[in-house]
Each structure stands twice: as C-alpha cells, then as structure tokens.
Homo-oligomer: A and B are copies of this chain.
C-alpha cells in the first residue's frame, strides 16, 4: 500500500512512463541494513582468512573482529560458506592486458595475478571453496558465476588471438584457458612454495608451444 504509493512516486519522478526496470522496489519497512556493518564483516572475513585460514575461520570470530553481533551476519549469509564466497568475490580478479600478442598478454596477466596470491588470502580461499563445492550444490550455484567471471579476461585474450590468427579458429578456448592456468592451479593446491614470478614465462611458453618437440 504504502509501498505502492512510494514506488509510484519514484516512477513519476523519473518520468519514464512504463520503465519495468524499477529495481528499488521491495523497499524498506523498518530500519535498513547497515552498509557499514556489511563491509566490516567482509573485511573481517578476509583478514581472518589470511590469518587463520578457512577451516579455522569461525563466524563468532568474524563477528568479534567486525564488532558486530552474530545475528547481523546470519541475517545476510546463511553460513560461513556463502559469506566466504562473497568476501572472495570482492577480491581483485585477473586484469585484462592487451599488448598485441597472446604470449605477452598472458605473461602480463599471470604475473600480476600471482602478485595477488601473495597479497590476499586468495590462495587460502580458493582450495577451501573448491573443496566444499563438491558436496554443496547451493554453494556451487553461488561460486560458479564468480569463478566464470574471474577468468573471463583470459578467454578474451584468447579470442583476440583467434581474431589475429595467432591461434587456430577451431581451438577449444575453454580447454585452452584451463591448460594455461593448470600449472598454477596444480602448484597452488599441492605445493607449499610460493609460485615464483619467473615461472610465468616457461609456463606460458610451454602451454603455447606444447610439450612435444616439433618434428
């Protein structure tokens, strides 16, 4: 009732006759959720992920660190998993680089991405979420689009290479993307050592040139 009136007013104001796209519906009864608390929670989550890792992360700990009641967290996220997915989604992703050649695009992108692994809890979060994904379809639904979006610059670089004729037009781009990041994933998951920036060139070169000696 009130809601309808308000929505109507809003629409009237924006003077866009039938604009179906009104997103701000549903609007508020009661006190609105605190954007401040929201951010404090995500920040605390990332901080603690970096400090104690995923499995030792407790909702209670996040609440304490964020200066927030537990209920305020549970009002927004059903459990620590979607919370971590959301926090993870806020971390920087692959940054596209368009240098004119596939090899150098990839090298620039991967090198700067590797830096993120050393600056953010990314390395701790990724395997943990991957692990939970398997047994929790609801998590998969949250997690997958985030992942997809994060690797899209990689696919774009490959598409540019196709356009340039650097790679064959009937290449399976998805598989190619997996091949490029594969070694990083393997070493991230199964190795303690930090992955060194100088590994990027051999990785990219081998992925592009292949293992087998060209006859």
User: Could you tell me which A residues sit within 8 Å of B by CB distance?
Assistant: 52-56, 102-103, 123-124, 126-128, 130-135, 137, 140, 144, 147, 158, 165-168, 171-172, 175-176, 178-183, 185-187, 189-192, 199, 202-203, 206-214
Contacts and interface: CB of A to CB of B under 8 A. Distances in A.
A23 B26 CA distance: 46
B206 A176 contact: yes
Given A165-B213, A207-B179, A210-B210, A131 B134 contact: no
B175 A183 contact: yes
Q: Which 5 A-B pairs have the closest CB atoms?
A: A182-B182, A210-B210, A53-B135, A127-B131, A130-B189
- Consensus secondary structure, chain A interface: helix
A202 B55 contact: no
13 contacts: A55-B132, A55-B135, A127-B127, A127-B131, A127-B189, A133-B192, A166-B213, A167-B213, A180-B211, A206-B210, A208-B210, A208-B211, A209-B210
Pick from A55, A181, A190 the residue with the most CB of B within 10 Å: A190
B189 A178 contact: no
A177 to B, nearest CB: 8
Contact of A186 (B123, B133, B166, B181): B181
